[in-house]
């Protein structure tokens, strides 16, 4: 029954997205949906299945990953109170802190690609047609790139070199939006509740693709009225 309900919900979501995108195609607005709806390949608009894929990315990818990174950030700021104090004292450090948060959390765990030709990477031979899995969580803690990688440092000079959003032609289309969301959330949270902190163990869902925090308690001193 769960599978039937899930399938029906996903189908309803796709139908809604397809309707919105087709409306944007006829009446474009200055927004991302219109850009997707009116994108063309070889002079033809994208087929519905590609519109479905784009809608899926907007609804699931941007929501799930950002939500889990917001929760992961709370854990980091609680575990490393010196870094939180530094951020409270100087909110101008927020952009760098956001990159460091994303590096440490790495909300998407891995992605698989297929090699289009024979290649050698760091001494490892990969044949054309072989499946290759890249673990973001491992790459973002590569000691060769990030010294002392398990240390949360909001002033890490190369924090923006993380690859949590992919790289090159595979870079996440919502990268800038996600960073703006994280920055906006924590600017407001820390301004209103500077003592907010994790108050108990988190519950992580069994998921091998995304770092899915189901719940995590927090506590703070209510604002004076």
Mind listing the pLDDT tens digit of every residue in the chain (225 residues)? 778 887 888 889 889 989 999 999 999 999 888 999 999 989 999 888 888 888 877 777 667 788 899 999 999 999 999 999 999 999 999 999 999 999 999 999 999 999 999 999 989 999 999 999 999 999 999 999 999 999 999 999 999 999 999 888 878 877 888 899 999 999 999 999 999 999 999 999 888 888 889 999 999 998 755
CATH number of the structural domain spanning residue 56: 1.10.630.10
In a domain, 224, yes or no: no
Q: Is residue 19 part of a domain?
A: no
In a domain, 211, yes or no: yes
DSSP 2-71: HHHHHHHHHHHHHHHHHHHHHHHHHS--SSHHHHHHT-EETTEEPPHHHHHHHHHIIIIIHHHHHHHHHH
Whether residue 67 is contained in a domain is answered as yes
CB atoms within 10 A of CB 3: 7
Q: In the chain, what's the furthest Cα-to-Cα distance? A: 66
Cα dist from 34 to 17, 30, 185, 187, whole Å: 12, 7, 26, 30
Q: For tokens 């923006």, what's the residue?
A: 160
Global pTM reads: 0.80
Residue 12 is assigned to a structural domain of this protein: no
| Domain span including residue 125 | 47-219
Residue 184 lies in a domain: yes
Let me know if residue 134 belongs to a domain. yes
Task: Give the side-chain half-sphere CA count within 13 A for 190.
Answer: 25
CA distance linking residue 184 with residue 25, whole number of Å: 31
Q: Tell me how many domains the chain contains.
A: 1
Q: Is residue 38 part of a domain?
A: no
């Amino acid at each position: 029954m769960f599978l039937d309900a899930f399938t029906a919900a996903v189908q309803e979501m796709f139908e809604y997205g397809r309707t919105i995108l087709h409306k944007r195609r006829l009446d474009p607005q200055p927004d991302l949906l219109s850009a997707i709806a009116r994108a063309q390949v070889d002079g033809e608009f994208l087929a519905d299945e590609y519109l479905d894929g784009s809608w899926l990315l907007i609804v699931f990818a941007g929501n799930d990953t950002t939500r889990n990174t917001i929760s992961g950030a709370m854990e980091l700021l609680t575990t490393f109170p010196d870094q939180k104090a530094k951020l409270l004292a100087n909110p101008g450090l927020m952009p760098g802190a956001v990159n460091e948060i994303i590096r440490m959390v790495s909300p998407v765990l891995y992605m698989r690609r297929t090699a289009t030709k024979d290649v050698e990477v760091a001494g490892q031979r990969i044949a054309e047609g072989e499946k290759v899995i890249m673990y973001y969580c491992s790459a973002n803690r590569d000691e060769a790139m990030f010294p002392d990688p398990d240390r949360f440092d909001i002033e890490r000079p190369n924090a923006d070199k993380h690859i949590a959003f992919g790289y090159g032609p595979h870079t996440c289309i919502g990268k800038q939006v996600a960073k703006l969301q994280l920055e906006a959330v924590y600017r407001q949270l820390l301004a209103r509740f500077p003592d907010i902190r994790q108050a108990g163990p988190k519950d992580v869902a069994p998921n091998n693709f995304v770092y899915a925090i189901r719940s995590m308690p927090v506590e703070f001193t209510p604002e004076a009225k």
